[in-house]
Amino acid sequence: MTYLAPVSEMRFVMEQLAGLDEIFALPGVEALDADMLGAILDEASKFASNELAPLNRVGDMEGSHLVDGAVRVPAGFTEAYQKFCEAGWLGLAQDVKYGGQGLPFLLHIALSEMRDSACMAFALCPMLSGSAILALGAHGDSAQKSVYLKKMVSGQWTGTMILTESQAGSDLSVVKTVAEPNGDHFLLRGQKIFITWGDHEMTDNVVHLVLARIVGAPSGSGGLSLFLVPKFLLEADGTPGTRNDVHAVSLEHKLGIHASPTCVMSFGDDGGAVGYLIGEPNRGLACMFTMMNHARLEVGLEGVALGERAYQKAVAFARERVQGRVPGQEPGMSIIGHADVRRMLMLMRAHTEAARGLAYVAAACVDHVHYNPDPDGRAYHEARLELLTPIVKGWSTEIVQEVTSLGVQIHGGMGYIEETGAAQLYRDARITPIYEGTNGIQAQDLAGRKLAGDGGKAMFSMLDEIDEFCGGADGLPAGLKALKSGAAELRTSAHYILAHASQDPALSGSVAFSFLMQAGTLLGAWQLERAARAALQLGDDRLGETKAAIASFYATHILPRAGAYHQTVMTGADSAIALPMDWF
């Protein structure tokens, strides 16, 4: 089966959970209305289904290859990318000054989900371009913006994020790539690894944003700077000219996303790659985090998207596959009649809908931070966005491992066969907990910087909202009672970490992951209960019953996991490090 974007579900989440009406009212996005929104979603859905989804299997089988120093992408990718650019999809939420349409990030995130579901390997290219555009727009000088941004916003040139080295993965403080001043530019020398879409020939230029250390700069992360390094140097008229001294020297052979070229990039093999400083010297990591935070939300969305595609595929198979017999039913029924299969489908759907709700709520915060004229409103949404980002990235990409695995399981033996496509989604999803800072790093960011940074203010404010949503303790329905109890446990976990982390330096690393999963599991329940209440208020009986059933299932089958994570936070720190390192 092909992928069909769940447009009505996306719109429901945007309107009922993410506060689309509030975003419509923000100054700067008044041009968007409900009719335009619907038209854009429908056209994007057609593009994802007709142009991108057919590439998913082709891309997985063919992969990208390095041939005579050039990266060759699978059949159909270049043509699809050109259609993508011609339709203006990349610039949808970008600044109108540089050719963008200035529409809300919330709308962009829905379209990004469609692309990720249809063909994640393709979607990674424009996703990283979007991150590079944000960083250059925030930190580049006026000349850099005027020369590069229009081409990047249009998609004529793509962008990359180049950080990692063989000895510098999560710990960027030990980056060795150097930048030597040379007139109005720098010459970079070094080698970077794991560079997604680091090179290709779908466009006539690639704009690399590279983390390097200026010669003589301090050691550690405080001595890193960010540089713009184009694949082709520009002529006086702004067109690509001489090839810069930066090349893909090999491609990684990966578990999944085979069509996305993951490059080893070499800078300065022939004297030095010309690069231009972005922002201030030694402030590269701060500049890079503009890219990273955007990319982390997008990677969390990949968890939603791959979960949706796996669910659609599993439902289609379960309706068609005839196997077994249910007592009291006639033989020859499809496996969707088996309670255990429906249990697995409900797990897949509940997880995915909960994660979508959380991701879209975070995306709406981005719009408020950018457009909201009220300082208090901006501050509220900025704090909420800071708190949600590591949860969206970490929790969503963890649960998609379960969702895509269940997709294989529902297919039975056929799920283990590549032709069905279930295994590809399982393989493609595995990179997401690693991308843009491993989930252990996301967890420590949540428990450290985000929780401790404001003394828990943003977390406790959110938990207060959950309590208010649930109402009084007496006579609550089972789902709300479980949600309220879970919120109390998360509050206790947060207080425990705040009280003990400074005295026990190992605490955060030992239990932070469980804290992140506890938070994500609880917030997922909150989004589904909100969805159930909103659906019932709309007066659509089938939608209301469906959302209520999903929220109820989540409350009984998934939310109890939050209690287990809570127990781990409260009691599990010592046991995690009880075994001496040399005993492993």
Quick one: which of 10, 4, 16 has its CA closest to 37?
Answer: 10
Eight-class DSSP state of 373: -
| Residue-by-residue DSSP string for 425-446 | HHHHHTTTTTTTS-HHHHHHII
The single residue listed with the structure tokens 């009880």 is 578
User: Is 436 part of the annotated catalytic residue set?
Assistant: yes
Query: What is d(CA 48, CA 117) in angstroms, rounded to the nearest whole number?
Result: 8
- Tokens 């509050």: give the residue: 491
CB 71 within 8 A of CB 263: yes
Which tokens belong to 71? 């990266």
Helix (H) or strand (E) holding 7: helix 7-16
Q: What is the DSSP letter of 165?
A: B
Q: What's the rounded Cα separation, in Å, for the pair 31 and 96? A: 13
Would you give the DSSP letter of residue 168? B
322: DSSP letter: B
Residue spans of beta strands (DSSP E) within 174-239: 178-182, 185-196, 206-214, 224-230, 232-234
Instruction: Indicate the burial class of 191 (C-beta count within 10 angstroms; 0-12, 13-18, 19 or more).
Output: middle
240, containing H or E segment: strand 240-243
Total residues found in the chain within this entry: 584
Beta strands at 206-214 and 178-182: parallel, antiparallel or unpaired: parallel
**Which one of 436, 465, 489, 529 is the catalytic residue?**
436
Q: State residue 243 phi and psi, 5-degree precision.
A: -70, 130
DSSP string, 490-527: HHHHHHHHHHHTTT-TTHHHHHHHHHHHHHHHHHHHHH
Gap between the Cα atoms of 36 and 93, Å rounded:
14
Main-chain phi, psi angles of 196, to 5 degrees: -70, 125
Pairing status of strand 185-196 against strand 262-267: antiparallel
- Cβ neighbours around 41 below 10 Å, total: 20
**Secondary structure class of 181 (helix, strand, coil):** strand
Per-residue DSSP letters for 62-92? Answer: H--EEETTEEEPPTTHHHHHHHHHHTT-TTT
For residue 490, the number of C-alpha atoms closer than 13 Å in the C-beta half-sphere is: 32
Side-chain-side CA neighbours of 411 within 13 Å: the count stands at 26
Instruction: Report DSSP state, residue 337.
Output: G
Tell me how crowded residue 75 is: count the other CB atoms within 10 A of its CB.
Answer: 12
Question: In angstroms, rounded to a whole number, what is the distance separating the alpha carbons of residues 573 and 360?
Answer: 33
List, by residue number, the catalytic residues: 436
